[in-house]
Structures are given as structure tokens and as C-alpha cells.
Structure 1
Amino acid sequence: MGRTKEFDTDAALRTAMDLFWRQGYEATSMQDLVDHLGLGRGSIYGAFGSKRELYLRAFERYVDDARDGLLGQLSVPGSSMAAVRTLVRHYAEISLADAELKGCLVTNTAVELPADADAGRLVASGLETMETVLAGALLRARAQGELAADRDPVSLARFLVTLLQGIRVVGKTPVRQRFLDDTVDQALAFLS
């Protein structure tokens, strides 16, 4: 009986995530996964199931990483509103620096797999996580006197989620520099 090849499933999952993020679900073949993960089909199927299951697990990892990144950026000591403004600038900066035009895997998945119920749940979870983290920062900003008492942190958080996702979409286009410069200026003025 042959010995099962052991490999780092987390590293393989991250490699698959990057490949799916760059190419999309449909454009990524099983052979692409074999080549990029350096694993045989049997090992991939054994560890992750189907290509779809691997995609969903990789996407879930992306959402978890994004949540951790948002929490880190919005949980810094000091001004919560300054942290929100920095986040808006950060989204524009990463969109402009995205030479591969990968965009956001949440948005890419929403567009590519709108009929996939499991992917849809993960997309919704990713957006709701962004909403929750942003609303928390905006509630702190209101408590700090940086946000007017009549501003609804949840509605404002939803606006910002939509804005940030839009920034990632426009970041994939040839007009990204001028659109994102103006968008950030307007968003920061709105948040003042």
C-alpha cells in the first residue's frame, strides 16, 4: 500500500485562492490547479473534494483574511473616523497598485457565480462582515464625537461597503486613476 503524500493544506488553499482570484472560477481548470499546487488530482480531490468545493474553501479563507485585515485597520487606538478615512484611501491605493487587475474576490465571485447558492451565502457573509466592522468603527466615532449623533452608523457602513466594493471594480479599468482620485476626494469630504 502506497503512502499518502502529506502536504500543507493551508498553503495549498492559499495558492488555490490566489489562482482563482487571478483567473476566476470558470477559467481555472483542474489542470491549472494541479500545476500551481504541485499536487496530483487525487491529492486535491482527497483533501478538498471537487474544484467547486476547493473554490468555496479558498473563498472562505479570503473572506476570513479580509475580516482580519479590516479589524486590524479599524481597531487602531485613536480616532475611529481617521481609521475609516485611512481605509477608504487604502482601498483606492490597493486598487491602483493591482497590476494583475484581480480586484476583490468577493465582488468577482458575486459577478461570476450569481446563481451558486453557497457562493452567494459566502458573498453575503463577506459583505455583512464588512458592514459589521465598519458600523462598529462608526459607532466608536460617534461616541468620540467625530460623527454627528443623527448619522446612522449602520446605513453609513452599508454605503461604505458599496463604495469600497465599487472602488475595487473601477480599479480593474483603464480609467481607474482619475475615477478613484475623485471618488476618494468625494468620500473623504462626505465623511468630514
Structure 2
Amino acid sequence: MAGVRQFDEGEMLAEALDVFWRKGLRATTMQDIAQATGVLRGSLYNAYGGKEEIFLLAFDSYVGRFLDNIRQALDSTPDPEQGLRALFNAAIASMTSGSPARGCLSTRTATEPAALDDPRLRARLRGMLDELHGIVLAALSTDASRARLAVTPDEAADLVVTFTRGLAVMERVYQDATHLDRIASALMRALFR
């Protein structure tokens, strides 16, 4: 039936996301997406226009899940130090999942040579980082957090967001969750009195 999608969009986006995560935005082709999803290339073009539009939808879904996991980690305890530890544990688990480990989609995308030429993608990446900063800032703005932090909550949130991006690079190079955990522990000691 013309105009009606003959595939489950959620499943298609999940499969496409996996391809983008493995190959990167630039190296992924519409044929790669079609093969992974079982949806004909023509149907994908008709429904979305191109791989960039599919990527943006898949990326939005990824960001929503990622930020929900961060919120849950920080909300898992009233203790700010334990909350940040849970955040780092969640980030490390996400980066090291899969075989081979998938790394961090947002950092991978932000470091692709042409990825930031697309203003829509740049806005999505910036929005994700800004929202991550806001979530961490809110968690570290309590009286209990302020009393224990060695820096202001805003500075701590900036450090945490920047650190998670660097942690993603370290995962790609070392591919060792134990090493990442040691680095996260060092930052925790620096952030808290």
C-alpha cells in the first residue's frame, strides 16, 4: 500500500543505530542500513530521504536512553559521590558493551571529520552535552554535594561531562574497563574533599 510503511520503525532504527555505531556515520551507506534492517533501500529513501535523517532519528533515540541511564545512576543514591560513581559505572558499562566493545556513539560521531558540518547534527551533539551538564549540575547542587565538592557544582559538572568524553577515547585506545575504572576513581578523589 503506497505511503504506508511496511516495517517497524523502532526495530529499523535500532538496527540502523547498531550499524552507525560499528561503522560510523560517514562510512555507513544506505545499502548497509538496508542489509542490516531488511528494509529495501528505496523504501528507506522514500520514508526518510537519506542516511543522515535515519541517523538523526536513531541518535535521538540513543541520547534519550543514555540520558535516562545517567539520571537513574545519579538518582540511585542521595550520596553525591556514590551517585557520580554510579554514573561512571553506567558510562563504562555502555562503552565496553558488545563484542567488540562499541565505545561511545556521541564521541565517535563528534570526532568524525565531516560530521559537524551538518548543523542539525552539531545541534544534537551540543544539546546532548548541555543536557548531560544540566543533569549532573542538578545532582551536584544539593547542600550535601556543595559541602563535599572541591570545586563549584557547575565546575564539577563541566569536568564530569568533559571527562566522560575523554573516557570514551581512552576506552577506544586501551579497551580495558579496569583501566577506565581506575581513571574514574582518580577523578572522584580530585572532585571530593
Shorter chain as normaliser: what TM range? 0.7 to 0.9
CA contact (8 A) 1:138 1:147 kept: no
* TM-score normalised by the chain length of structure 2: 0.86
Q: Which moved more, 1:98-107 or 1:46-55?
A: 98-107
**2:120 aligned residue:** 118
Give the Å deviation of 1:35. Answer: 0.6
Give the Å deviation of 1:39. Answer: 0.5
* Aligned amino acid, residue 191 of structure 1: L
Structure 2, unaligned runs of 5 or more: none
Q: Which moved more, 1:125-134 or 1:176-185?
A: 176-185
Cα shift readout 1:119-150 (whole Å, capped 9, x = no counterpart): 1111101111110111011013xx22564477
**2:133 aligned residue:** 131
CA contact (8 A) 1:103 1:172 kept: yes
CA distance in 2, matches of 1:93, 1:6: 35
**2:164 aligned residue:** 164
* Aligned amino acid, residue 163 of structure 1: F
* TM-score normalised by the chain length of structure 1: 0.86
CA distance in 2, matches of 1:12, 1:177: 30
CA distance in 2, matches of 1:39, 1:17: 14
CA RMSD for the aligned pairs? 2.3
The answer to whether residue 93 in structure 2 is matched with residue 109 in structure 1 is no
CA distance in 2, matches of 1:84, 1:149: 12
CA contact (8 A) 1:95 1:167 kept: no
Give the Å deviation of 1:178. Answer: 6.8
CA distance in 2, matches of 1:153, 1:146: 7
CA contact (8 A) 1:85 1:191 kept: no
**1:43 aligned residue:** 43
Cα shift readout 1:89-140 (whole Å, capped 9, x = no counterpart): 3333444455424211111111111322111111101111110111011013
CA distance in 2, matches of 1:100, 1:150: 37
**Pairing 1:63-74 to 2, within 5 Å after superposition:** 63-74=63-74
CA distance in 2, matches of 1:6, 1:178: 45
Change (3 A) 1:119 1:42: same
Q: Which moved more, 1:129-138 or 1:40-49?
A: 40-49
Cα shift readout 1:52-99 (whole Å, capped 9, x = no counterpart): 111111112111111111111112243233111221233334444554
* Aligned amino acid, residue 87 of structure 2: L
**2:183 aligned residue:** 183
**2:60 aligned residue:** 60
* Aligned amino acid, residue 73 of structure 1: A
Question: Number of residue pairs matched?
Answer: 190
CA distance in 1, matches of 2:136, 2:171: 21
Greater relative contact order, per chain length (Cα 8 Å cut-off, separation 6+):
1
Q: Which moved more, 1:117-126 or 1:175-184?
A: 175-184
